[in-house]
Amino acid sequence: MKVYKALTIAGSDSGGGAGIQADLKTFQELGAFGMSVVTAVTAQNTLGVQGVYPIPIAGITEQIAAIGDDLGTDALKTGMLFSSEVIDAVSEKIDHYGWHNVVVDPVMVAKGGAKLLQDEAIRALIEKLIPLATVITPNIPEAELLTNRDINTLEERKEAAKSIYNMGAKTVVIKGGHGNGQEVVDLFYDGEVFEKMVSPRIETRHTHGTGCTFSAAISAELAKGKEIREAVMTGKQFIRAAIEKQLGIGKGHGPTNHWAYNERG
């Protein structure tokens, strides 16, 4: 049996809806062997983030080396990286191991408002990590911070996608979960064509971990050798099912349902 390996380099969410936990569940559902590098531990649930405990840099680079020197990986994603020091160290290691199929989810702020990336780290993201990205998946507020401009119209979103592409990412997907209207439009750009990936907007407050799950699904598909566009389409189908059949747990913004895509829950 061919084993497809996928790695997540991200923060831990004790509540299980986002971060490392969402990523590993997604990898499992899509048939990839999941591995993880924890960059920070968060005390978190559906009500918000109660605490952030960053892992020391040596602890992060040793976890990456443990994987790089033994198992290797077919694809990886990055999520919460927290500081420019972590971004520098992670980028250096990705380069060192020559890892391809790199999905960058430029996580900055949790849905409840807690900061998951320090302000000054945006520069490191642009200079070090984005040039290594096969796919980058900012939401609209993240795309605004990366490009230093407001995004209100589709035209402005296209301009932002071009600008992020010019920072060195091979493919840019600006997600539309934060917009409003009947449809959710994720804008895909590969340097040649723009494609609007459209699905009905599901009315719900249970969207904790949607970005994490979406980027993890893309990584699992890339690990299996799928083309980038196809991987993003599957990511969109996976997250749509997960939101549609959300679990209704927790007192606040609940997690999505990682079983739903395979119709097991």
Ligand X SMILES: Nc1ncnc2c1ncn2[C@@H]1O[C@H](COP(=O)(O)OP(=O)(O)O)[C@@H](O)[C@H]1O
Ligand Y SMILES: Cc1ncc(COP(=O)(O)O)c(N)n1
Residue 56 DSSP class? P
Token pair belonging to 83? 């500081």
The nearer residue to ligand X, 68 or 176, going by C-beta atoms, is: 176
How far is residue 77 CA from its own chain's centroid?
Answer: 7
Q: Is residue 210 annotated as a catalytic residue, yes or no?
A: yes
Question: Binding to ligand X by residue 229, rule CB under 6 A?
Answer: no
Interface segment toward ligand X; rule CB under 6 A; list 82-90, 143-151, 162-170, 197-205: 197-205
Q: Are strands 75-78 and 102-104 parallel, antiparallel or unpaired?
A: parallel
User: Which residues make beta-bridge pairs with 42?
Assistant: 13, 52
- Judge whether 26 counts as a catalytic residue: no
- Examine residue 199 and tell whether it contacts ligand X (CB under 6 A): yes
Q: Are 166 and 147 in contact, with CB atoms under 8 Å apart? A: no
| Residue 208 binding result from ligand X, ligand Y, none, given CB thresholds of 5 to 8 Å by partner type | ligand Y
Three-state DSSP at 246 gives coil
* Rounded distance between C-alpha atoms, residue 114 and residue 196, angstroms: 30
240 binds ligand X (CB under 6 A): yes
Instruction: Report if residue 23 touches ligand Y, rule: CB under 6 A.
Output: no
- Active-site hit among 5, 25, 128, 175: 175
Across the beta sheet with 135-136, the strand order is 48-54, 33-45, 5-13, 75-78, 102-104, 135-136, 172-174, 183-189, 194-200
Q: Of the two residues 103 and 239, which places its CB atom closer to ligand X in the complex?
A: 239
Between residues 48 and 168, which has the closer beta carbon with respect to ligand Y? 48
Residue 35 is which amino acid?
M
Q: Which stretch binds ligand Y (CB under 6 A): 29-37, 63-71, 82-90, 106-114?
A: 106-114
CB 130 within 8 A of CB 87: no
Catalytic residue among 211, 224, 235, 236: 211
Residues contacting 113, CB < 8 A, separation 6+: 48
Q: Is 176 helix (H, G, I), strand (E, B) or coil?
A: coil
Q: Is 16 a catalytic residue?
A: no
Based on the shown chain and the rule CB under 6 A, indicate whether residue 107 belongs to the binding site for ligand Y.
Answer: yes
Minimum distance from residue 3 beta carbon to ligand Y (Å): 26
Contact residue for ligand X among 177, 195, 229, 249 (CB under 6 A): 177
Question: Should residue 118 be labelled a site residue for ligand X when binding is judged by CB under 6 A?
Answer: no
Q: Specify the 3-state DSSP secondary structure of 184.
A: strand
Helix (H) or strand (E) holding 196: strand 194-200
- Answer with the entry of ligand Y, ligand X, none that 11 interacts with (C-beta below 5 to 8 A by kind): ligand Y
Q: Is 211 a catalytic residue?
A: yes
Choice between 70 and 263, CB closer to ligand X: 263
Q: Active-site residue 79, yes or no?
A: no
CB closer to ligand X, 68 vs 254: 254
37 binds, among ligand Y, ligand X, none (CB under 5 to 8 A by kind): none
Q: Which residues are at the interface with ligand Y (CB under 6 A)?
A: 10-11, 13, 18-19, 42, 44, 79-80, 107, 110-111, 116, 208-212
